[in-house]
Amino acid sequence: MGNPRSQKGSSRERELVDMFWGAGFGVVRAPASGSATDRALPDLVAGNDERYVAVEAKASASDTVYVDGDEVSQLIEFADRFGARARIGVRFDREDWRFFHPGDLHVTDGGNYRVKKETALRDGEDFEEVVGGTKQVRLDGVGDDA
Amino acid sequence: MGNPRSQKGSSRERELVDMFWGAGFGVVRAPASGSATDRALPDLVAGNDERYVAVEAKASASDTVYVDGDEVSQLIEFADRFGARARIGVRFDREDWRFFHPGDLHVTDGGNYRVKKETALRDGEDFEEVVGGTKQVRLDGVGDDA
C-alpha cells in the first residue's frame, strides 16, 4: 500500500538482488525491459562461479501472479545463450520468494504464465535451493499429494 | 564529434553488447555505476555457457585511456564473486576493441589504470580471443619484443 505497483516491484527486485549478494553471488540487475533493445533479457543474472541463474521476478499483493509469455520466452532464450538456469521468482505479500522453472508453470490459453500463491508455497523452490544450499524435503514427482 | 562524451561512451558500450550478442552470447548491460547501489558492478556481463566475461568498457578519442581505480576494483570483485573473467575493454577511434586483464595494465601513482593506444593495439586481446575463438599469434610472456 502507498507504493505504486511498479515501485513495489522494483523494491522487491532489489530485495532479491540483496539476497543473492548476501549469499556470495555477483548479481547484475538488467535495465528495465523494453529499454532500447530487442535482445532477450531477464530481470537479473546472478553467479557464484559454480552456478548461474537468470531470474524473471514478480511480486504480487494478490493470490495469483501472471507473467507475460514474451518475458518468459526472453528469459529462456537469454538463459540458454548465457548458460544459466532460468527461473521465475514470485513473491507474495508476507511470504518468502519461491522459484519455478518456466516449464513447470501453468500456461494460460493466452500464452501467459500463471502462478497461484498456494501452488507457489507448496511446489516452488525456496531461495536456498536456487543458490545451491540445502534442499527442501519434497514428495517426489507429482506434488499434488499435499 | 557532435556527441557528448557520455553518449559516445554509451553508444560504444552498446556496440560491444551487439558484438557479444552476435557471437552467440547472452549479454546484460549493468545499470550506470553509482545508481542506488554500492555493490560491485561491471559495465556488462556476457556468457555463452562455457565462458563468462565481465567487462569495464572505455572509449576514447585521444591516445590514452584512464580507468578509475575504484571501477577496476569493482570489476575484479564482481568477476571474482560471479565467476567471470575480468576484462577492461578499450576502444580508440577508428580502431577495434582491445581487452586487458586488469593485472596487465599500468597503474598510475594515483591508483588509476592507464592504457595507451599503442600498447592496446600491440598487446591487447582482440574480441575473438575474449569470446574464445581464434587466438592472436603472440610472442610469449613479456610482450615488449615487438
Give the model confidence (pLDDT) of B103-146 as tens digits: 999 999 999 999 999 999 999 999 999 999 755 555 554 444 33
What is the C-alpha to C-alpha distance for residues A105 and A71, in angstroms, rounded to an integer?
A: 14
What is the mean predicted confidence (pLDDT) over B13-22? 94
Q: Which domains does chain B have, with CATH numbers?
A: 5-130 (3.40.1350.10)
The Cα of B125 is separated from the nearest Cα of chain A by a number of Å equal to 22
pLDDT of residue B11: 84
What is the C-alpha to C-alpha distance for residues B139 and B123, in angstroms, rounded to an integer?
A: 10
Contact A48 B78 (CB under 8 A): no
What is the C-alpha to C-alpha distance for residues B73 and B119, in angstroms, rounded to an integer?
A: 22
Q: Find out whether A28 and B35 touch, Cβ atoms under 8 Å.
A: no
| Active-site residue set of B | 33
- DSSP result, A71-119: HHHHHHHHHHHHT-EEEEEEEETTS--EEE-GGGSEE-TTS-EEEEHHH
Inform me whether the pLDDT recorded for B80 exceeds 80.
Answer: yes
pLDDT of residue B133: 75
pLDDT of residue A40: 85
Residue B126 DSSP class: P
The Cα of A81 is separated from the nearest Cα of chain B by a number of Å equal to 5
Contact A26 B50 (CB under 8 A): no
Here the ipTM equals: 0.83
Number of A:B CB contacts under 8 A? 79
Residue B24 at interface with chain A, using a CB cutoff of 8 Å: yes
Task: Give the pairing of strands A52-60 and A85-92.
Answer: parallel
Cell numbers placing B141: 610472456
Contact A82 B26 (CB under 8 A): yes
Inform me whether the pLDDT recorded for B7 exceeds 70.
Answer: no
Count of residues in chain B: 146
What is the C-alpha to C-alpha distance for residues A73 and A85, in angstroms, rounded to an integer?
A: 14
Query: Residues 63..82 of B with a Cβ closer than 8 Å to A: which?
Result: 78-82
The Cα of B48 is separated from the nearest Cα of chain A by a number of Å equal to 4
Q: Rounded to 5 degrees, what angle do the CA atoms A129, B41, A43 make?
A: 50
pLDDT of residue B2: 41
Ranges of residues in chain A with a pLDDT under 70 are 1-9, 32-38, 134-146
Q: What does the pLDDT look like over B35-77, one tens digit per residue?
A: 445 678 999 999 999 999 999 999 999 999 999 999 999 999 9
For chain A, what is the total number of helices (H) and then of strands (E)? 4, 8
Residue B83 at interface with chain A, using a CB cutoff of 8 Å: yes
Helix, strand, coil shares of chain B, percent, nearest 5, are 30, 25, 40
Residue B141 at interface with chain A, using a CB cutoff of 8 Å: no
Q: Pick A81's closest partner by Cβ from B24, B36, B42.
A: B24
pLDDT of residue B12: 87
Q: Pick B81's closest partner by Cβ from A17, A26, A29.
A: A26
Out of A55-59, B31-35, B85-89, least confident range: B31-35
Contact A83 B50 (CB under 8 A): yes
Contact B21 A39 (CB under 8 A): yes
Burial string for B42-73 (b: 16+ CB within 10 Å, else e) reads bbbbbbbeeebbbbbbbbbeeeebebeeebbe
Q: Find out whether A66 and A114 touch, Cβ atoms under 8 Å.
A: yes
